[in-house]
Structure 1
Amino acid sequence: MNAKAGSLPLPEIDIEEFRKVVRTRRSIRRFTDEPIPEAVLEDCLELATLAPNSSNLQPWEFFVVRTPELKAELAHACLGQNAAKTAAALIVVVARPDSWRAHARQALEDWPEEKLPPIVEKYYRKVAPIHYNQGPLGILGLAKKAAGLAVGITRPVPRGPYSNCEMKIWATKSTALAAQNLMLALRAHGYDSCPMEGFDEHRVKKLINLSGKGLVTMVLAAGRRAENGVYNRQYRFDQRQMVHYL
Structure 2
Amino acid sequence: MSLSSTTIAEPQVALTRADAATPAALRALIESRRAVRRFTAEPVPEAVIRDCLELAVLAPNSCNLQPWSFQVIQKPALLAALHPVCMSQNAAKAPLIIAVLARPDTWQQACSGVIEHWPEGPAPKLIEHFYRKTAPFQYNQGLLGWRGFFKRQLLRIVGLKKALMRTPNSHADMRVWAVKSTALAAENLMLALQSHGYCTCPMEGFDEVRLRRVLHIPKQAIPIMLLAVGKPGDKAVYNPRLRFPLEQHVSWH
TM-score range, shorter chain: over 0.9
Select the residue among 240, 244, 251 that pairs with 1:237: 244
Structure 1 gaps of 5+ residues are none
Q: Which amino acid aligns with 1:45?
A: L
Select the residue among 50, 54, 79 that pairs with 1:42: 50
Select the residue among 161, 177, 191 that pairs with 2:168: 161
Select the residue among 69, 77, 85 that pairs with 2:77: 69
Kindly indicate whether the alpha-carbon contact (under 8 Å) linking 1:98 and 1:212 is maintained by their aligned counterparts in 2: no
What SS does structure 2 have at the residue aligned with 1:221? strand
Corresponding position of 2:3: none
| Correspondence list, 1:164-243, <5 A | 164-243=171-250
Q: What is the CA-CA distance between 1:5 and the residue it aligns to?
A: 3.5
Distance of 1:63 and 1:82 partners within structure 2? 20
What SS does structure 1 have at the residue aligned with 2:99? strand
Q: Which amino acid aligns with 2:69?
A: E
Select the residue among 27, 40, 59 that pairs with 2:35: 27
Corresponding position of 1:81: 89
- Residue-pair matches, total: 242
Q: Which amino acid aligns with 1:188?
A: S
Question: Taking structure 1 as the reference length, what is the TM-score of the superposition?
Answer: 0.95
Distance of 1:241 and 1:151 partners within structure 2? 37
Corresponding position of 2:59: 51
Question: Taking structure 2 as the reference length, what is the TM-score of the superposition?
Answer: 0.92
Q: What is the CA-CA distance between 1:7 and the residue it aligns to?
A: 3.5
Q: What is the CA-CA distance between 1:65 and the residue it aligns to?
A: 0.3
Write out per-residue CA displacement over residues 197-237 of structure 1, whole angstroms, 9 at most, x where no aligned residue. Answer: 11111111111112241111111100011231100000111
Select the residue among 50, 58, 68 that pairs with 1:60: 68
- What is the root-mean-square deviation of aligned Cα atoms in Å? 1.2
Detail structure 1 runs of 4+ shifted over 6 Å in the superposition: none
Write out per-residue CA displacement over residues 122-143 of structure 1, whole angstroms, 9 at most, x where no aligned residue. Answer: 1100001110011121111011
Greater mean deviation of Cα atoms: 8-17 or 136-145: 8-17
Select the residue among 13, 32, 38 that pairs with 2:21: 13
